[in-house]
Amino acid sequence: MNIAMWLLAGGILGWFSYQFLDFNEGRSTMASVIIGAAGGLVGGKVIAPMFIAAAPVPAAFSSSALFFAVAIAATFLAVGSFIDKRWDI
């Protein structure tokens, strides 16, 4: 359940950043959604356990892990936009 929420939150953030914030405007909408989803997965699965205690029930929803997933997805999108503008990759 958590992994689906992290991917969904990152994907929505990627879509939002492409449509309204003009991040990654050199790429397609799908690229921004994939970058956001990857950031959400890394944030929730790798970064969040470093800073927060594990959920008492592994399948339970964790809002703090979702916060980390969204924060790392936003970071991935910002870095992707910077790389795109700086080096045209």
Q: How far is CA 35 from the centre of its chain?
A: 7
Q: What's the pLDDT at 86?
A: 85
Q: What's the pLDDT at 57?
A: 65
Q: What's the pLDDT at 62?
A: 82
Phi, psi (deg, nearest 5) at residue 58: -55, -30
CA torsion through residues 7, 8, 9, 15, sign: positive
Give the domain extent around 47. Answer: 2-87
The rounded distance, in Å, linking the Cα atoms of 51 and 11 is 23
What tens digit of pLDDT does each residue of 23-70 get? 666 778 898 999 999 999 999 989 988 888 766 666 677 888 899 999
Helix (H, G, I), strand (E, B) or coil at 23: coil
The rounded distance, in Å, linking the Cα atoms of 41 and 87 is 26
Say how many domains are in the chain. Answer: 1
CA atoms within 13 A on the CB side of 75: 12
